[in-house]
Structure 1
Amino acid sequence: MKEYTEIIHVQEEDLDDLKHVNNVRYVQWIQDIAKNHWLNEASKEMLDAYIWMVLTHYIEYKGQAFLNDEILLKTYIEKAKGVTSTRIVEIYNNKTEKLLLRSKTDWCLIDKNSKRPIRLTDQLKNMFT
Structure 2
Amino acid sequence: MSSPNFDHPQQHTVTVRVLPEHIDVMRHTNNVVYLQWLEDVAWSHSCALGLGPDEYEASGHGMVVRKHELSYLLPTHLDDELILATWLTEVDKLSTHRCYQFIRLSDGQTVFRGSTHFVCVDIAQGRIRRMPSAFYQAYSAAAISTAP
TM-score by length of 2: 0.78
**For structure 1, which segment, 16-25 or 115-124, has the greater mean C-alpha deviation from structure 2 after superposition?**
115-124
Q: Show the counterpart of 1:38.
A: 46
The percentage of aligned residue pairs carrying the same residue is 22
Q: Which ranges of structure 1 fall in alignment gaps of 5 or more residues? A: none
Match of 1:77 in 2: 88
**TM-fit CA distance, 1:29:** 0.6
Question: Which among 53, 64, 84 is matched to residue 53 of structure 1?
Answer: 64
- Over aligned residue pairs, what C-alpha RMSD do you find? 2.0
CA drift at 1:109: 1.3
Out of 105, 108, 115, the position equivalent to 1:104 is 115
Tell me the matched-pair count.
Answer: 129
CA distance 1:109–1:124, change in 2 (3 Å)? farther
Instruction: Give the conservation status (yes or no) of the 8 Å contact 2:49–2:139.
Output: no
More strand as a share of residues:
1
Output the CA distance in 1 between the equivalents of 2:90 and 2:51: 20
* TM-score, normalising length: structure 1: 0.88
Consecutive aligned runs of 4 or more in structure 1 exceeding 6 Å deviation: none
> Structure 2: which 5+ residue stretches go unaligned?
1-7, 144-148
Residue 88 of structure 1 contacts residue 103 of structure 1 at CA under 8 Å; is this kept in 2?
yes
